[in-house]
Amino acid sequence: MMRFGVVIFPASNCDRDCVHVLRTVLGQEVEEVWHEEQSLDGLDAVVLPGGFAYGDYLRAGAVAARAPVMAAVRAFAQVGGPVLGICNGFQILLEAGMLPGAMLRNAVLRFRCTMVHVRVESTQTPFTRTLREGQVLQMPIAHGEGNYFAPGSLLSTIEEAGQIVLRYCDAGGRVNHGANPNGSVRNVAGVRNPAGNVVGLMPHPERASEDVLGSGDGRLLFESVIMWLETRKRSLVGA
Amino acid sequence: MPIYRIIIELKPGVLDAQGQAVHQGLRALGYETISGVRVGKCIEITVPDQTARDEIDAMCERFLANPLIEEWWIERDQDRDGTGRSRVPVLPRSQGS
Amino acid sequence: MTTATLAPESVGLTREEYEEIRRRLGRDPSPLELRMFGVMWSEHCGYKHSKLTLQLLPTDSPRLLQGPGENAGVLDIGGGWAVAFKMESHNHPSAVDPFNGAATGVGGIIRDILAMGARPIALVDSLRFGPLHETRSRRQAAGVIAGIAAYGNCVGIPTVAGELVTDPGYRGTPLVNVACVGLVRHRELARSRAAGPGNPVMLVGARTGRDGIGGAAFASEELDTASEREDRASVQIGDPFAGKLLIEATVDALRTGGVVAVQDLGAAGLTCASSEMAARGGVGMRLELELVPLREEEMRPDEILLSESQERMLLVVMPEAAERVASIYCRWGLRADVVGEVTGGPLLTVLRAGAPIVSLPPYALAEAPVYRPAAREPETLHARWAMPEVSQTDPAQALLALLAAPAVAVKRVAFEQYDHMVQVRTVVAPGAGDAAVLRLPELSPKGLALVCDGDGRLTSLDPYRGARRAVAEAAANLACVGATPLGLTDCLNFGSPENPEVFWTFRQAVTGIADACRAMKIPVVGGNVSFYNESPDGPVLPTPVITMVGVLEDVSSTCGAGFRRADDMIILIGKTDPDLAASFYVSAVHGMHAGRPADVDFDAHQRVLAVVRDAVARGWLSSAHDCSEGGAAIAVAECAALGGLGAEVILPAAPRADIALFGEAPSRFVLSLPEHRLRDFQALAAARSVPLTILGRIGGDRLRLAASTDHRWAIDLPLAEIAAAYDALSSIL
């Protein structure tokens, strides 16, 4: 059993959902990490949940990215700890400079909550290790600022480095304009850092982790990181 | 205490969907000669007398704006005396300038 | 401010009411006190004209833990858990400022649920506007939807069900009714009865500013167009971020067990909360104005006492808990200030610089006088029952027009703007079934079903029957997802009660709701009356809105409305004598509200509902949808559009094709099921003497409907055209 930290910022609102899935659905240990926390000692993985941290009043994620806990999250990531930012958590990781790019308002200028399909583009992360490239997942999105943007040169760099983790696609896995719910450049739905241990995505895997809610695909991401952590633990013990 | 007004806009080249929508709305109202609309935000800060403009720039760069997608202008307002506000923008600033 | 006299009329009171105040106080009220009376005795706070009529509504239920008279009603759902819910209107603020009016409406109803100690788990919204091809109505609709989204999404409460109806009768008087549902453990149920002299009174949440001064009085005035601009100052601005913090902090604070009473600060702010809490508890309260944290300088006492600044609540706490409660709010970045204390003497006293500036019995403020307004049947009522000659139009065109009407069309454009999935409970999403279904992991596999229904058109034609139809339809919607009604909350939207025809209509509608609830044994556990919905065009279309909550024993067996499988059989159950009188078809296609609506036979209704519910619970049905606006043809078309499957259907014969297709009658359902279930289902229906007609089969990519057995399709349209019409709202809003 692994020990997950779910960070709670003021006005995080998917924190309880992430705790529910990790604890009740997947049987993991979960610690709720307050935004003023300075240490993440004893955690195996960290989740930054969705919501409207600090109201998102300046820019989505901007204030939260400067919260005390983020120094600890950065340190945790620097030593290879897996960090997953979901929706607002992704925005926070971008604002914190832990992932490349920025978020603009949805091209439709509206909040959008709907089920989408995404295609796995990179399996070089703890969260997608057990998936295969090209695999199509069904998960919901719910955001007003999920229009991923990176200037041309940065975009080429991250594309070439394989840092795109998920792209919006249709049910058949085709990445096209019609499948893009928010105007994201090249349908980007999720990215990773060069090392691969920090991942941000706009879709909500925790809302797609139980069949009764319409999809169980999101659970695959959590199961992947659990397996990755178990393998790492075994190899450490073995060494 | 002086008041500075920071105006933040999306950089040219970054899709300003709000600006486009407002532009369309103005056209629909008959203002057809308008050739461009940008939507941004304005932040007013009240600072101690001796605050250097560089310091305000640093605030923008580190927090108030996202230099990857946004640029900003800083205007100094006259001290509040009820006579109105400065409307003259000072030097445009953007990342790298 | 300190002028010795203030005319009662200037604060919205009559001479008689002023005399009543003098009688209750035994002296003249001070100008400040008179302002407080003016707001507390407004219709919005005081329910002067509606109180006696509302007593008709039945509240008894073996599950009742809290009926009307508190911040929300509460019903037991087993396992030590209860559900708290209430619906409220925010019509006037939303007419003036659609975005902020709707957003603060959401904030307010959430705090009512929170004040019962419940964690809010869902929002339901019922919206009515003028025709959307008119710019003003379209802007109102777009602003209201965006406002609900802005608040609800940020605080993380899913908006899971709702209505969107347009009619010229709402032009200038849009209706914005929002309900909130919360979950609470019995032992954590909170109430608003102040108690314990010496207990500190704490004001928690946001600071007090000059927001919405006199908003409650404003809500009771008739709107004219000029007021839309001038009244802007009395519209409050919500802060959903603070609202979210207030939810978390208050849930934590109530868990300490040190909170004696709690109430939301809404209309009339501190005045209302303090006087109602003291009056309910039969105690007094002393407030010190200097202790109230202010957002603006130099606020006058009346501004502080009547401010409607959002995101505030008033708590009575045990002295030993005060510090702990304050530290909880502080942890969430909110203020919690002791502003006074509970006193033994029966007086509400407000001190400024140590000197009393208000001193009166709380009940005197909190219990407005009760009126028996004159009532008169509208002169034109019977004339409206006469059915004019209606020409037959092209059925296919009529079908597409009805599908595209906002009342029928899919509300994707609204629900996609609402986060309807947060809290991971949503099993049947908005639009996917006749009611939303939320699972309750606390009581797994149980679930809750939520729906709201109202029909201003039917109510204007026959208020008694229209109201009964609304209650019946809400229960029918719940049956389609397999849920049994638990209770309801209502929002009654009418014009001026001082107009005898409006008041008669109101009383008939309340009587209708009451009789329907008695027939179905459903308690009314709370609600809201919104009078004075008047514009220069006259009173609003009379619109009682019902939000009904139901319980499912097992959410995994629930059922959606869309067709699911090719080759499934399509069935119509319920009586098959549809009528064009008062139908949506006559209204939307022929432009007339005419005819007398059919009444509900509640004995038959209950039997049909039991059949549908049983069949859903047994997992026999693939889809279930009730026939409402647009009759059987529209019900079938909706099922086809939702499921993306075509069908061939022959409807029971009627004197005219349009009657068979679009005629309406209560208690009818379109169901689909696999053929091997048909025999069992027929037996189930027969056992309860419920009529059943096999309509046809699912399949293909066209929708074909015949109105008789002459094998000529009255309607034969490609599914894509049906789907496009059904999604018409997406290109309008």
Exposure string over C173-209, b if 16+ CB within 10 A, otherwise e: bbbbbbbbbbbbeeebbbbbbbbbeebbbbbbbbbbb
Q: How many CB atoms lie within 10 A of CB C536?
A: 10
pLDDT, tens digit (0-9, with 9 covering 90-100), for C380-398: 999 999 988 899 899 999 9
Q: Is C593 a catalytic residue?
A: no
Q: Are A8 and A34 in contact (CB under 8 A)?
A: yes
To the question of domain B3-80 being in CATH 3.30.1280.10, the answer is yes
Compute the average pLDDT of residues A23-45.
97
pLDDT of C2 strictly over 80: no
Q: Which chain A residues are Cβ-neighbours of B66 within 8 angstroms?
A: 59, 62, 95, 102
Strand ranges for chain A from DSSP E? 3-8, 29-34, 45-48, 83-86, 102-104, 112-120, 136-143, 147-149, 164-169, 188-192, 198-201
Contact C555 A212 (CB under 8 A): yes
- Cis peptide bond upstream of C445, omega within 30: yes
User: What is the Cα–Cα distance from C435 to C428, expressed in whole angstroms?
Assistant: 8
Q: Which of B13, B14, B21 sits opposite A104 (nearest CB)?
A: B14
User: What is the Cα–Cα distance from C608 to C630, expressed in whole angstroms?
Assistant: 20
Between C210 and A38, the more confident residue is A38
**Burial of A172: CB neighbours in 10 Å, binned 0-12, 13-18, 19+:** exposed
Q: How many CB atoms lie within 10 A of CB C688?
A: 14
- Structure-block tokens of residue C280: 């309910």
What single string gives the DSSP state of each residue in B31-42? -TT-------EE
Contact A110 C416 (CB under 8 A): yes
pLDDT of C733 strictly over 60: yes
Contact B68 A151 (CB under 8 A): yes
Range of the domain at A73: 3-238
Give C313's strand partners. C204, C264
Count how many domains chain A has: 1
Where do the domains of chain C lie, and which CATH numbers do they carry?
11-41+194-360 (3.90.650.10), 49-189+424-551 (3.30.1330.10), 397-417+559-733 (3.90.650.10)
Q: pLDDT at position B13, please? A: 81
pLDDT of A239 strictly over 60: no
Residue ranges of the domains in chain B? 3-80
- Of C286, C301, C112, C310, which Cα lies nearest the Cα of C201? C286
pLDDT, tens digit (0-9, with 9 covering 90-100), for C408-467: 999 999 999 999 999 999 999 999 999 999 999 999 999 999 999 999 999 999 999 999
User: What is the Cα–Cα distance from C410 to C400, expressed in whole angstroms?
Assistant: 13
User: Residue C372 has what DSSP assignment?
Assistant: -
Please give the mean pLDDT across all residues of chain A.
96
Q: What percent of chain A has pLDDT over 70?
A: 99
Residue C573: enclosing H or E segment and its boundaries?
strand C569-573
Q: pLDDT at position B88, please? A: 40
Q: Which residue of B has its CA nearest to A154?
A: B68
Q: What angle do CA C484, C486, C492 make, to 5 degrees?
A: 115
Query: What's the pLDDT band for A207 if we cut at 50, 70, 90?
Result: very high
User: What is the Cα–Cα distance from A2 to B21, expressed in whole angstroms?
Assistant: 48
Q: Which of B13, B17, B64 sits opposite A107 (nearest CB)?
A: B17
Min Cα–Cα distance to chain B from A107, Å = 6
pLDDT, tens digit (0-9, with 9 covering 90-100), for C25-62: 999 999 999 999 999 999 989 999 999 999 999 999 99
CATH of the domain at A220: 3.40.50.880
- Of C290, C274, C291, C278, which Cα lies nearest the Cα of C344? C278
Chain A residues within 8 A (CB-CB) of chain C?
A: 10-11, 13-14, 16-17, 20-21, 24, 50-52, 54-57, 110-114, 140, 142, 144, 204, 206-207, 210, 212-214
Min Cα–Cα distance to chain A from B21, Å = 9
Q: pLDDT at position C711, please? A: 67
User: Residue A37 has what DSSP assignment?
Assistant: -
pLDDT of C295 strictly over 80: yes
Distances (CA, A) of C499 to C467, C506, C531: 20, 11, 11
- Structure-block tokens of residue A193: 């850092």
Distances (CA, A) of C217 to C150, C173, C535: 26, 17, 17
pLDDT of A36 strictly over 60: yes
Contact C421 A207 (CB under 8 A): yes
Q: pLDDT at position B25, please? A: 83
Q: Is A14 a catalytic residue?
A: no
Q: Which chains touch B (3 or more CB pairs under 8 A)?
A: A
Q: Is A18 a catalytic residue?
A: no
Instruction: Please give the span between the terminal C-alpha atoms of chain B, in angstroms, as a whole number.
Output: 28
Q: Which chain A residues are Cβ-neighbours of C429 within 8 angstroms?
A: 214
pLDDT, tens digit (0-9, with 9 covering 90-100), for C635-683: 999 999 999 999 999 999 898 999 999 999 999 999 999 999 999 999 9
Q: Is C420 on the interface with A (CB under 8 A)?
A: yes
Compute the average pLDDT of residues C514-523.
98
Contact C420 A110 (CB under 8 A): no
